Structure 1
Amino acid sequence: MSASISTIGAFRHGGRLREAMAAFPDAPRPWLDLSTGINPEPWSGQRAPADALRRLPDPRELAELETIAARAFGVADPGRVVATSGAEAALRLLPGLIGGGEVALLAPIYGGHAESWAASSPSLVTSPEDPRAVAADVLVLVNPNNPDGRRIDRDTLAALAAERSDAGRWTVVDESFGEVAPELGVAELEIDRLAILRSFGKFYGLPGARLGFLIGNKVFAQEFRALLGDWPIGADALALGIEAYADAAWRGRTRAWLATQAGAVDTVLAKAGLKPLGGCDLFRWVETPDAHGLFTQLCARGILTRPFADRPDRLRLGLPSRNDFNRFERDIHAVTS
């Protein structure tokens, strides 16, 4: 069982579908990938036209995207919003720009943050009030959190970031799941040493577009933009982002549907004895005595979820689409009854 999990690489992050298919060749197809916390019913706009793929991206299109995204994020000055090839790319570059010193990560936390700050030997803390967090030159947190859905309310986080900035300390807030919890967002706040990450792929359901954003004070945003160069993203990311971020009506409908679908998933999980302990409207974080065993049983049925090496009693599950919901309900019942 554990060999299958390590073969898939599922302990590192979700989305290893081809590895899962190789490890479980007899599983039913198509697979249902619930390992990543991505909207299963994506925005359905147009990709870039053929002529856009035959030329370099136009700087005016990049500026247009950043302006439209800024409006969607509630940021008054689009000069503070920098498009990147995914939030992952941005978080990997931050240590080089912000610098070293003492680093604290609010744990549990997405593994990419731990990897990107590894050279600083970061402290893992469970509260911003931990003395190591208070003293750290850089505090990194995710809100709402991945994988457990922990939430820090906006006013508390704003006060924390402002206080830390006044003391010459940085706060990095990863809002990759922020679209389903807009009330938590701090992107509109221009605080000197506050850097915010946003993801396109999760809420809009198009992670393959590789689009994300860094939001910071205007000077820091300019430095980050210069680091990326003239063409930080491709034509498809530009085309999809410009249309999707302008579609406020779709955003509202999708937030409502995801909340409803998450509630339906909770009902299925609770009936199976897997009552969620946390999560957000894109994923659920559940407790079960043998989460690794449940992961393997679901893989055998062609359903990929997300296990954790350090928490053998926890499993994260994304949401199924409308069309896949009955299969999800049937197979969860089958492996837990």
Structure 2
Amino acid sequence: MSASVSDTDRRGPPRKRDHGGGLDAAAARFGGTPHDWLDLSTGINPVPYPLGDISAEAWHRLPGDGAMEDLLHAARTFWNVPETAEIIAAAGASPLISLMPELAGGQPAHIPAPTYNEHAAAFAARGQGQPFDDPAHPVHVYVHPNNPDGRLWPDAAGRALTVIDESFCDVTPEASQIARTAKPGTVVLKSFGKFWGLAGLRLGFAIAHPDTLRNTATGVPLSELMGPWTVSGPALEVGARALRDTAWAEATRTRLAADAARLDALIQRTGATSVGGTTLFRTYAMPDRAAQWQEQLARHHIWSRIFPYSDTWLRLGLPGSERDWARLEAAL
């Protein structure tokens, strides 16, 4: 996974890592303002959970223990977390990903590529930037379903530590490996921003047996490494409300599945073939260079995602309205 490791250049300032988004740069290159653009470069649900009213106390007061307990209880119920597992909430999955090397205690990690590049970058930033393609390493890291090809990984039990990033798994809850957190050795990461479409809220979770959520070398718990007030008051309030709204979750899964099939049918008319993905994003092998397709869409102010390790792969999120669908079809 050399593309990810090289993002941290020890001879100078860190280079910006490859991600979706970046509408400011797209607009600077192709014109318009970010508000003019249709951003299909991420896997964020384009029809987000309705925020509803947020109490004045959530904005005014420091987040309290009661609000955190309410959020964690809702999370435990929604994901059917084993009683023996602990849940830690944070300001998104990203800070949790950056702390996974602390749980590994300096041990080398196997991170099969291609995948979300922040995992390898986190290990590289701790000086653990070795080749990540060795299954014999005692730490395994999987994005499940994988980004960008949607692979579901097999059970990797028996390792010293297995990290399973389930940021996109809420569209396929039957595939979750959260039951494995009943015993030590497995950490499951959850992102609130993808399925609920509220990436700006910044909310994520680490779920594992308490023995796993500590630095293996020092014994320091992950919660102490993170410090106090890891989640904002509004995020605590909205997150608990959304996790209890199972009717919205079921209706959203149905809508996403229908829209993903619609996107496949539309894109495959160009001669593209499906690489995979989830019902939040789809990845295609295009008939020509992916950069050409990205530029063609960009001329219509539609932003897509290409990858440094493939000349033909193009990833698209879902349009969120009939107007957006019409924009995409016209651009194609």
Deviations 1:278-321 (A, max 9, x none): 11100011112310111111111111111111212111110111
Contact 1:284 1:317 (8 Å CA) reproduced:
yes
Number of residue pairs matched by the alignment: 307
Partners of 1:55 and 1:221 lie apart in 2 by 28
Post-superposition offset of 1:27: 8.0
User: Which structure carries more helix by proportion?
Assistant: 1
Mapping 1:24-43, distance limit 5 Å = 24-26=30-32, 30-43=36-49
Residue 257 of structure 1 aligns with which residue? 255
1:84 paired with 2:90, answer yes
Mapping 1:101-120, distance limit 5 Å = 101-118=107-124, 119-120=127-128
- 2:26 is matched with which residue: 8, 12, 20? 20
Residue 183 of structure 2 aligns with which residue? 191
> What's the secondary structure of 1:260's corresponding residue?
helix
Contact 2:24 2:33 (8 Å CA) reproduced:
no
Partners of 2:161 and 2:302 lie apart in 1 by 40
Contact 2:186 2:212 (8 Å CA) reproduced:
no
Contact 1:39 1:282 (8 Å CA) reproduced:
yes
- 1:123 is matched with which residue: 104, 127, 131? 131
Residue 272 of structure 1 aligns with which residue? 270
Deviations 1:215-242 (A, max 9, x none): 1112334722222223111012111101
Partners of 2:95 and 2:129 lie apart in 1 by 20
Contact 1:11 1:308 (8 Å CA) reproduced:
no
The structure-2 alpha-carbon separation of the partners of 1:316 and 1:69, relative to structure 1 and needing over 3 Å to count, comes to same
Post-superposition offset of 1:78: 8.1
The structure-2 alpha-carbon separation of the partners of 1:124 and 1:77, relative to structure 1 and needing over 3 Å to count, comes to same
- TM-score under structure 1 length normalisation: 0.86
Q: CA RMSD in A?
A: 1.9
Tell me whether 280-289 or 18-27 shows the greater mean CA deviation.
Answer: 18-27
Percent of aligned pairs sharing the same letter: 37
Residue 330 of structure 2 aligns with which residue? 330
Post-superposition offset of 1:45: 2.6
Residue 285 of structure 1 aligns with which residue? 283
AA matched with 1:33: D
Contact 1:177 1:202 (8 Å CA) reproduced:
yes
- 2:204 is matched with which residue: 212, 233, 237? 212
Deviations 1:202-258 (A, max 9, x none): 000000000000011123347222222231110121111010000000000000100
Deviations 1:20-64 (A, max 9, x none): 111211589621101111100010032532232111001111011
Moved over 6 A (4+): none
Residue 317 of structure 1 aligns with which residue? 316
Partners of 1:74 and 1:221 lie apart in 2 by 19
Mapping 1:119-158, distance limit 5 Å = 119-125=127-133, 132-133=134-135, 135-152=136-153, 156-157=154-155
- TM-score under structure 2 length normalisation: 0.88
Partners of 1:79 and 1:64 lie apart in 2 by 16
- 2:64 is matched with which residue: 58, 63, 70? 58
Residue 6 of structure 1 aligns with which residue? none
Partners of 1:18 and 1:302 lie apart in 2 by 12
AA matched with 1:65: L
Post-superposition offset of 1:11: 7.0
Partners of 1:47 and 1:79 lie apart in 2 by 32
Mapping 1:150-189, distance limit 5 Å = 150-152=151-153, 156-157=154-155, 160-161=156-157, 163-164=158-159, 169-189=160-180
AA matched with 2:205: F
Contact 2:151 2:277 (8 Å CA) reproduced:
yes
Partners of 1:92 and 1:57 lie apart in 2 by 23
> What's the secondary structure of 1:201's corresponding residue?
coil
Partners of 1:10 and 1:48 lie apart in 2 by 34
Unaligned runs of 5+ in 1: 1-8, 126-131, 333-337
Deviations 1:141-176 (A, max 9, x none): 111000111112xxx41xx22x22xxxx11111000
Post-superposition offset of 1:102: 2.0
Partners of 1:266 and 1:260 lie apart in 2 by 10
Unaligned runs of 5+ in 2: 1-14, 215-220
Deviations 1:95-153 (A, max 9, x none): 1232112211011110111110112124343xxxxxx21x212111111000111112x
The structure-2 alpha-carbon separation of the partners of 1:122 and 1:246, relative to structure 1 and needing over 3 Å to count, comes to farther
Contact 1:47 1:239 (8 Å CA) reproduced:
no
The structure-2 alpha-carbon separation of the partners of 1:18 and 1:37, relative to structure 1 and needing over 3 Å to count, comes to same
The structure-2 alpha-carbon separation of the partners of 1:200 and 1:29, relative to structure 1 and needing over 3 Å to count, comes to closer
Residue 294 of structure 1 aligns with which residue? 293
Post-superposition offset of 1:187: 1.2
> What's the secondary structure of 1:202's corresponding residue?
coil
Contact 2:296 2:331 (8 Å CA) reproduced:
no
Partners of 2:314 and 2:17 lie apart in 1 by 11
Residue 231 of structure 1 aligns with which residue? 229
